[in-house]
Structure 1
Amino acid sequence: MADKERLIEARVYNVNLSRVYWGRRTNRADRAVRLLRKLIQRHTKADRVLIMDEVNNYIWSRGREKPPRRISVLVKVIEKTGEEEEEKIKEAKVYLAPKKFKPGKVELTAKQ
């Protein structure tokens, strides 16, 4: 299959995860990952959201009961087309944002 990828946009979001502290302690990191996925899907209108391992490891770094209160993520929205031009899938990939990026739209170079 010859999939073609085209970068639509890249944005940096500061996501407040403190609302996962309202519930039970035993599954806060699970809820933080679900909340992040839901927020990214709502903001990007993507069909699929892929959370990279570095983001997942950062959320789980302090254990299941104490995820970080907020996280800064870089979201790349990609449009994939299959062999047939009718197949278009909008996909959002979530990475940890470098410190130099501020929230909002980001212009990415080929290196990033």
Structure 2
Amino acid sequence: MADEENTTEILLSVSLRKARFSSKSRRADTSIKMLKDAVARYTKSDRDRIWVDNKVNELIWSRGRRKVPTRVNIKVIKLEDGTSEIILP
């Protein structure tokens, strides 16, 4: 998907530490939302137009719903049409 158009790539390190303030049963869900919000700030795009790769999702959910990682290194690919992809570097 990213190879077809002109793209911009950004490497980010996103802290998910504040997800610990949410309830234990919703920490992984909150982490995904925090990840999308951080990428939306950097790419100046809408959160609905951000696509999360399955490997990033599996990384966040790898230790279960309650024990999410505190920091994630990601690569963001912004396409010309305004959509963004979140993948692992």
TM-score computed with the length of structure 2 as normaliser = 0.88
Deviations 1:24-76 (A, max 9, x none): 11110000000001110111012411110000000000000001010000001
Deviations 1:48-106 (A, max 9, x none): 11110000000000000001010000001111xxxxxxxxx211111012xxxxxxxxx
Structure number with the higher helix fraction is 2
The amino acid across from 1:76 in the alignment is I
The amino acid across from 1:68 in the alignment is P
* Equivalences for residues 46-61 of structure 1 within 5 A: 46-47=45-46, 48-61=49-62
Structure 2 unpaired stretches of 5+: none
Residue 5 of structure 1: how far off its partner (Å): 2.2
* Large movers: runs of 4+ above 6 Å: none
1:6 maps to 2:21: no
Q: Which has the larger radius of gyration?
A: 1
TM-score computed with the length of structure 1 as normaliser = 0.71
CA RMSD of aligned residues (A): 1.1
Aligned length: 84
* Equivalences for residues 1-112 of structure 1 within 5 A: 5-7=5-7, 9-47=8-46, 48-79=49-80, 89-97=81-89
